[in-house]
């Protein structure tokens, strides 16, 4: 017997019952980003593997073990994008749209791919919405990115469930000096570090800071602190950011251990975390990457951005039951027609209604059926009203408008008065 066909583990279908919430989320974010003056960019899902190695860093979790990499038919090594920043930087460089110091405030949305262990809030295909800003180097824009996410949490009704964690990794010079001090300290306690941390000490020592191992964490208590190594430039930038968050009334906690998984960050790093989703608590994360564009072959161009995980935010909306009522109803009216003549008249009438009321959500019964079966379908559709068209109605050129949610009596409405009638009784969401 052949094995039934299945989706790849960790890659999910988003079913019709779930898509209204996704679309609500996506349109809320898109509107917000429009309002703040961000422009959408769309990059391919597949890029040359080299792009991610060069930008994300060879010794990060993503590049070492999470990428979906394969050979193209002509022998090129390609990778399904694990994140959006690298491709966005590639795109702005390729098209010269950050040249001559041009500012760009961009956003993107789409699927990302990482070969991780699937669990709640962690998938192999997941979706992000991200923002990237180029050629603005002050803390004002770091603050704007945080402020707009804060506004988003407010609009979504999840503000009380998320907390902002903030850190500064300094300029590459100050981070270099800190890295040396950290390596020196950790090397003196090598035997107390877990295996992963011992390895990272050689390859990517800052990552030791976000270890989950209790023994290593104990060693870290007395380790040198990044804050003591910040140069004046980084310190001023960080103070500037904090002052703006204070001015905007956004609470935050400084987390000196926040280093982020990707190599390219400098100065500001931040995460929005929730304790409502278990272990996968980071719903949005980002930071500044002033050296990345140059590292990828461009002229010095500063950058700052973030990405939010859509699945985790959807889970949070569901967990907190912050699902707006209007999205649960997809149909306003359901047209039932009995007999061929009524069906033909019903088609003409419904197209006329769509002309007159462009936002009316009108579902026309398909597949004929008895009174009972059509009413059942009308009810199941969630519609507020059933429009009934049978021989009697047709003879009188009226439609019977039957309330399905207990809002009053059935009424007979003339064809030419129907649009006006529906406009008064259906409040558009
Ligand atoms: P984590 O520490 O949870 O692995 P990360 O640091 O790898 O996250 P980023 O690369 O910063 O995550 O991606 C930004 C956001 O994308 C994360 O905060 C999270 O919300 C989401 N995200 C990342 N990886 C996954 C995944 N495998 N499944 C679902 N969402 C994810
Ligand atoms: Mg990760």
Each residue of 132-185: pLDDT tens digit? 999 999 999 999 999 999 999 999 999 999 999 999 999 988 888 999 999 999
Q: At what angle do helices 19-35 and 139-156 cross, to 10 degrees?
A: 140
Mutating to test ligand 1, I would choose from 282, 305, 312 the residue with most ligand atoms within 8 A of its C-beta, which is 282
Ligand 1 nearest atom to the CA of residue 114, by list position: 27
| Ligand 1: centre distance to CA 193 (Å) | 25
pLDDT tens-digit map of 299-351: 999 999 999 999 999 999 999 999 998 888 889 999 999 999 999 999 999 99
Distance CA 121, CA 314 (A): 10
Q: Is 244 annotated as a binding residue?
A: no
Ligand 1 mutation pick, 126, 204, 273, 315, max ligand atoms within 8 A of CB: 126
In which residue are the tokens 């990482």 written?
114
Residue 262 has what pLDDT? 67
Ligand 2 mean position, distance from CA 51 (Å):
18
Res 1 pLDDT > 70: no
> CA 327, CA 92: separation in Å to the nearest integer?
36
Distance CA 365, CA 381 (A): 10
85 is in an annotated binding site: yes
Mean pLDDT of the chain: 94
Residues lining ligand 1, Cβ inside 6 A = 83, 114, 116, 121-123, 126, 128, 261, 280, 282-285, 307, 309, 311-312
Q: What's the rounded Cα separation, in Å, for the pair 387 and 187?
A: 77
**178 marked among binding-site residues:** no
Give Dmax (Cα) for the chain.
94
Q: Is the dihedral of CA 273, 37, 20, 82 positive or negative?
A: negative
Find out whether 356 is annotated in a ligand binding site: no
DSSP E strands: which ranges in 215-302? 253-254, 266-274, 282-288
Mean pLDDT of 289-294: 93
**132/124 Cα distance (integer angstroms):** 23
Quick one: which H or E segment has residue 241? helix 232-247
Flag whether pLDDT at 429 surpasses 60. Answer: no
Query: Left, alpha or beta for 157 (phi > 0: left; psi -120 to 50: alpha)?
Result: left
pLDDT at residue 427 in the model: 64
**Which of 112, 309, 312, 315 to probe ligand 1 with, by most ligand atoms within 8 A of CB?**
309
Distance CA 309, CA 272 (A): 11
- For the domain made up of 330-427, the CATH class stated in words is alpha beta
pLDDT single digits (tens) 14-41: 999 999 999 999 999 999 999 999 999 9
Q: What is the CA radius of gyration of the chain?
A: 28
> What residue ranges of the chain are covered by domains with CATH 3.30.930.10?
19-171+231-319
Q: Which numbered ligand comes closest to the C-alpha of 128?
A: 1
Q: How far apart (Å, rounded) are the C-alpha atoms in residues 369 and 365? A: 9
0.85 cut: is pTM over it? yes
Range(s) for CATH 3.40.50.800 in the chain?
330-427
User: 54-67, pLDDT tens digit by residue?
Assistant: 998 887 889 889 99
How many angstroms does the Cα of residue 205 sit away from the middle of ligand 1?
A: 21
- The third-level CATH classification (topology) of the domain covering 19-171+231-319 is BirA Bifunctional Protein; domain 2 (3.30.930)
Query: What phi and psi values does residue 206 have, to the nearest 5 degrees?
Result: -60, -30
What would the mean pLDDT of 370-379 be, rounded to a whole number? 96
């Amino acid at each position: 017997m052949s094995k039934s066909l299945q989706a790849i583990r960790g890659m999910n279908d988003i079913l019709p019952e779930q898509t209204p919430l996704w679309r609500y989320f996506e349109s809320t974010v898109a509107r917000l980003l429009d309002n703040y003056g961000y422009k959408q960019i769309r990059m391919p899902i597949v890029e040359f593997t080299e792009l991610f190695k060069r930008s994300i860093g060879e010794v990060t979790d993503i590049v070492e073990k999470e990428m979906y990499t394969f050979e193209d038919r002509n022998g090129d090594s390609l990778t399904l994008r694990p994140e959006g920043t690298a491709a966005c930087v590639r795109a702005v460089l390729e098209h010269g749209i950050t040249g001559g110091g041009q500012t760009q405030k961009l956003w993107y949305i789409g699927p990302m791919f990482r070969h991780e262990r699937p669990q709640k809030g962690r998938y192999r295909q997941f979706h992000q919405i991200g923002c990237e800003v180029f050629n603005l180097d002050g803390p004002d824009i770091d603050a704007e990115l945080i402020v707009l996410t804060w506004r988003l949490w407010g609009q979504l009704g999840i503000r009380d469930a998320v907390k902002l964690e903030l850190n500064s990794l300094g300029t590459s010079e100050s981070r270099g000096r800190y890295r040396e001090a950290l390596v020196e300290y950790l090397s003196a306690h090598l035997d107390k570090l877990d295996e992963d941390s011992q390895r990272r000490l050689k390859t990517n020592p800052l990552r030791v800071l976000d270890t989950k191992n209790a023994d290593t964490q104990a060693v870290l208590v007395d380790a040198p602190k990044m804050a003591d190594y910040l140069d004046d430039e980084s310190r001023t930038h960080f103070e500037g950011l904090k002052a703006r968050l204070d001015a905007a009334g956004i609470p935050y906690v400084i987390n000196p251990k926040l280093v982020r998984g990707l190599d390219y960050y400098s100065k500001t790093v931040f995460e929005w975390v929730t304790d409502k989703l278990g272990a996968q608590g980071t719903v949005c994360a980002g930071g500044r990457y002033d050296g990345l564009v140059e590292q990828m072959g461009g002229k010095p161009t500063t950058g700052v951005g973030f990405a939010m995980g859509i699945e985790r935010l959807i889970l949070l909306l569901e967990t907190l039951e912050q699902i707006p009522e209007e999205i649960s109803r997809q149909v306003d009216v359901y047209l039932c027609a009995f007999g061929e003549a009524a069906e033909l008249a019903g088609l003409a009438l419904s197209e006329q209604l769509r002309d007159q009321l462009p936002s009316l959500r009108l579902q026309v019964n398909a597949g004929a059926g008895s009174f009972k079966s059509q009413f059942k379908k009308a009810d199941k559709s969630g519609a507020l009203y059933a429009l009934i068209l049978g021989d009697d109605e047709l003879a009188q050129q009226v439609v019977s408008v039957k309330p399905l949610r207990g809002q009053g009596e059935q009424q007979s409405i003339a064809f030419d008065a129907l649009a006006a009638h529906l406009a008064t009784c259906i409040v558009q969401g």
